[in-house]
């Protein structure tokens, strides 16, 4: 196969992980008091998406299951940010992750994972269109836990807008090298497990 890039990969793909949704929800519910705002949860990374952070600050919360091994000084250079692999520095497991059901899900993947977190998008809110990175840098995976039927993932690809609804309890690769947005049209928060894989073994 040719070298993987966003152009020769699907926009969204079910990764086929074995997930017990009831167990995942029970584990998530135990941590419900630990959500914090996106800026608090993402030191270093938020400075790289400042305009995006401003637009979602009051609507998007996280629980970090891995934390940064170091916090690097801010730079406006995208090349430098990619070179120092900031996303993958979120690799220190928390006590909520070690030995948990979250760990059992993530470690089904062949590639090592970082920036493992539980996210919460408020009802009726959006994360506006933005680009994160290509798979050569990291492979984004999302497991919806609550609310996927009312959540639409939008992608702008090849002059078209694509829309996807992801099923609760499925692990999905998202091709976030393309512009993408998330819209929660439900009356309750959308809660999901998200993580980044360092390598493309699991999507080949």
- pLDDT, greater one: 89 or 170: 170
Mean pLDDT of all residues in 145-166: 95
Tell me which of 85-94, 106-115, 119-128 is least confident.
85-94
Residue 204: predicted pLDDT: 86
Residues 6+ apart with CB under 8 A from 16: 171
Please tell me the distance from the alpha carbon of residue 124 to that of residue 55, in angstroms, as a whole number: 14
Q: Could you tell me which of 172, 164, 169 has the C-alpha nearest to residue 145?
A: 169
Residue 57: predicted pLDDT: 57
Please tell me the distance from the alpha carbon of residue 43 to that of residue 21, in angstroms, as a whole number: 30
pLDDT at residue 190 tops 70 = yes
69: its two tokens: 């091994």
Give phi and psi for 38, each to the nearest 5. -65, -35
CA–CA distances in Å: residue 12 to residues 33, 43, 117: 31, 28, 20
pLDDT at residue 83 tops 70 = no
- Cα torsion 137, 139, 145, 150 to 10°: value is 90
Domains and CATH numbers, the chain: 6-199 (2.60.120.330)
Residue 1: predicted pLDDT: 44
Percent share of the chain, pLDDT over 70: 84
Mean pLDDT of all residues in 65-88: 73
């Amino acid at each position: 196969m040719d070298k993987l890039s966003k152009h020769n990969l699907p926009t969204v793909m079910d990764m086929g992980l074995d997930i017990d949704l009831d167990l995942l929800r029970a584990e998530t519910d135990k941590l419900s008091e630990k959500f914090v705002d996106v800026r608090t949860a993402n030191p270093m990374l938020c400075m790289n998406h400042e305009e995006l952070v401003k637009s979602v600050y009051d609507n998007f919360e996280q629980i970090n299951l891995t934390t940064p091994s170091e916090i690097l000084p801010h730079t406006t250079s995208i090349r430098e940010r990619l070179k120092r692999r900031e996303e993958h520095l979120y690799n220190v497991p928390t006590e909520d992750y070690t030995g948990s059901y979250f760990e059992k899900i993530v470690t089904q993947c062949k590639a090592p994972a970082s920036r493992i977190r539980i996210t919460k998008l408020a009802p009726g809110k959006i994360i506006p269109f933005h680009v994160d990175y290509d798979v050569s840098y990291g492979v984004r995976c999302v497991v919806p836990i609550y609310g996927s039927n009312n959540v639409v993932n939008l992608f702008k690809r090849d002059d078209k807008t694509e829309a996807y609804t992801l099923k609760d309890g499925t692990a999905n690769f998202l091709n976030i090298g393309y512009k993408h947005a998330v819209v929660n049209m439900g009356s309750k928060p959308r809660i999901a497990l998200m993580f980044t894989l360092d390598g493309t073994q699991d999507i080949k």
